[in-house]
Structure 1
Amino acid sequence: MGVQKFEDLIAWQKAQELSVEVYKSFDVNKDYGFKDQIRRASVSISNNIAEGFDRSSNADFSRFLYFSLGSASELKSMLYLAKKLQYLNESDFQQMLQMCNEVSKIIRGLINSLKPKT
C-alpha cells in the first residue's frame, strides 16, 4: 500500500520541521521584510509538496515538487544572507542549512521516483 496522504511523506514532514526552526530563529528579528520573506520561503516548501500531492497526475505532482525545490533553494540563499547580516550564528546557520539540504535531497528522490520507468 502506497502513501495515502501528503502528511505521510517524509519530505513534507522534514519541510515542516525546517519551517518551525526558521520561525523560531527569526521570531525576534526586527527586519520585518527579511523575516517575512524567509518564513514564506520555508513554508512554501511543504505547501507545494502538499498541493502537488493531491493533483491529478504524477506529472502535476512532479511540477509542484520542482516548485518546492525552488523554494528550498530560495531559503538556502536567504540563510547565507542571514549569516552575512549576522541574523544567525554559525551553529543555527549550519543546522538549518543541513536541514534544507536534506529536504532538497529527499524532494529530488521523490521527483526521480515519479519519472516514468523506461
Structure 2
Amino acid sequence: MAKIERFEDIDAWKRARVLTSRVYATTNAGAFARDFGLRDQIRRACVSIMSNIAEGFERGAGDKEFARFLSIAKGSAGEVRAQLYVALDVGYLTQSEFEEHTQLATEISRLLSRFMQYLTTTS
C-alpha cells in the first residue's frame, strides 16, 4: 500500500465526502428539510465519518489508535444506513435515492473494514 500523506488521500474519506454532500442536498428538499431531528442526525452521522477518519489520521499516534477512529467512522456509516431506512419508510426518499445513498454508505464501510484490517495486520 502506498504511503498516505494526508487524510484527504484516503479513499474512504473521499467517498464519505461525496456521501455527505449528497445527503445534505437530499435533506434540503421537501418534508425531509422540515424534519429537523432526522435531518440533523443523518447529517451529523455523515460528518462523523469524515471527521473521525481525519482526526484519527492527524493524531499520528499509531495504527492501533487510528484503527479505533476508523471503527467509530464505520459505526457512523452504519448509523447513516439505518437513518436512510427511516427516511425511505416515511417517504422522504425515493427508492432510487435510498439505493444510491445506501450503496455509498456500504462502500465506505467496506473500505474502512479493509483499512482497519490492513492496520492491524501490519502493526
Task: Report TM bin, short chain.
Answer: over 0.9
Quote the residue 2:3 is aligned against: 2
Question: Equivalent residue of 1:43, what SS?
Answer: helix
Say yes or no: does 1:21 pair with 2:25.
no
Alignment length (residue pairs)? 118
Decide which structure has greater helix share. Answer: 2
What is the aligned counterpart of 1:49 among 38, 47, 53?
53
Secondary structure of the 1:95 match is: helix
Determine the structure 2 residue equivalent to 1:99: 104
> Which residues in structure 2 correspond to 1:68-107 (within 5 Å)?
68-107=73-112
CA drift at 1:33: 1.1
TM-score between the two structures when normalised by the length of structure 1? 0.96
Task: Read off the aligned partner of 1:106 and give its amino acid letter.
Answer: L
2:90 partner letter? L
**Percent identity among equivalent residues?**
39
* 1-structure distance, mates of 2:78, 2:12: 15
- Cα offsets for 1:62-86 (capped at 9, x unmatched): 0000000000010000000100010
Partner Cα distance (1:21, 1:117) in 2: 34
Q: Quick one: which amino acid aligns to residue 16 of structure 2?
A: A
What's the RMSD between the two structures over aligned residues? 1.2
Structure 1 ranges of 4+ moved more than 6 A: none
Question: Which amino acid letter does the alignment assign opposite residue 31 of structure 1?
Answer: D
Query: How much has 1:117 moved relative to structure 2?
Result: 4.3
Query: Structure 2 counterpart of 1:15, which letter?
Result: A
Aligned equivalents of 1:101, 1:84: Cα separation in 2: 19
Residue deviations 1:71-114 (CA, integer Å, cap 9, x gap)? 00100000001000101000000000000010110000100110
The AA in structure 1 aligned to 2:64 is A
Indicate which of 50, 63, 87 corresponds to 1:58: 63
Structure 1 gaps, min length 5: none
The one-letter code matched in structure 2 to 1:83 is L
